[in-house]
């Protein structure tokens, strides 16, 4: 299932809240290749710790790169990391692996802060950097309408994980608009284009999603967009 976690089975014993279990009794979901038997005293694999560190490093670095950037809230000073963390949380909640979640936290680094592909790759690996490049507008010199048109046209051709980052990005933006409207004032005045043009783009993306295999993230996109439309 797209977005589902896969867990390598380590030989020996895995400790859980319910007590130790023998990993040789677990189903092998790694395609036949088992990870080396490297476990910490607490029972977690070294790779689990490294991947957890990857996400923490991604969030820390995103906070540094975007430290001067704010969300488009009238009458509220909201740091941009709120959005990046929201995207990461959405992806993690839907079961995407840590590299995808890290790419979600970093998804605006190239587009908004001019971070290069090489720097992202050196810091976080080729897969993270490639996913960020997939969700980055390629020519910021173009007019807004042309940039958004090209971005939408490219969406069906992207790998599922990159599509998921785009959807999580939009969902968090929808939620921000909803919260802003309820607590801080009219959010639409903060956008370069008006509400109707923005909503048309969101609806076009929803139509594209109907051609994708079913996934709870797609359902959430539609549900939160409907909530946004109901706010007026």
- Which sequence spans correspond to the domains of the chain? 1-44, 48-230
Is position 226 annotated as part of the catalytic site?
no
Contact 25, 116 (CB under 8 A): no
- Of the residues 13, 24, 97, 111, which is catalytic? 111
CATH topology of domain 48-230: Hypothetical protein af1432 (1.10.3210)
Is position 112 annotated as part of the catalytic site?
yes
Q: For position 105, what pLDDT does the model report?
A: 98
- Of the residues 112, 119, 204, 220, which is catalytic? 112
Which pLDDT tens digits describe the chain residue by residue (232 residues)? 445 433 333 333 333 333 443 333 433 333 333 333 333 444 445 445 556 699 999 999 999 999 999 998 888 889 999 999 999 999 999 999 999 999 999 999 999 999 999 999 999 999 999 999 999 998 888 998 999 999 999 999 999 999 999 999 999 999 999 998 888 888 888 787 778 999 999 999 999 999 999 999 999 999 999 999 998 6
pTM for this prediction: 0.78
Q: For position 8, what pLDDT does the model report?
A: 35
Integer angstrom CA distances of residue 89 from 24, 37, 59, 60, 209: 32, 30, 11, 15, 21
């Amino acid at each position: 299932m797209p977005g589902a976690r896969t867990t390598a089975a380590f030989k020996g014993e895995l400790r859980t809240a319910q007590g130790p279990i023998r990993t040789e009794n677990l189903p092998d979901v790694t395609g036949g290749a088992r990870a080396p038997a490297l476990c910490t005293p607490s029972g977690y694999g070294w790779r689990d710790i490294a991947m957890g560190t990857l996400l923490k490093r991604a969030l820390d670095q995103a906070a540094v790169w975007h430290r001067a950037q704010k969300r488009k809230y009238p009458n509220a000073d909201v740091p941009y990391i709120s959005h990046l963390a929201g995207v990461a949380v959405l992806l993690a909640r839907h079961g995407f692996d840590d590299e995808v979640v890290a790419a979600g936290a970093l998804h605006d680094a190239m587009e908004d802060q001019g971070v290069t592909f090489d720097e992202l790759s050196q810091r976080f690996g080729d897969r993270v950097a490639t996913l960020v490049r997939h969700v980055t507008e390629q020519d910021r010199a173009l007019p807004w309408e042309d940039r958004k048109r090209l971005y939408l046209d490219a969406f069906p051709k992207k790998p599922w994980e990159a599509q998921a980052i785009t959807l999580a990005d939009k969902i968090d933006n929808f939620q921000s608009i909803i919260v802003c409207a309820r607590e801080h004032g009219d959010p639409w005045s903060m956008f370069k284009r008006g509400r109707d043009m923005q909503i048309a783009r969101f609806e076009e993306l929803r139509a594209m999603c109907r051609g994708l295999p079913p996934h709870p993230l797609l359902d959430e996109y539609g549900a939160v967009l409907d909530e946004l439309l109901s706010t007026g």
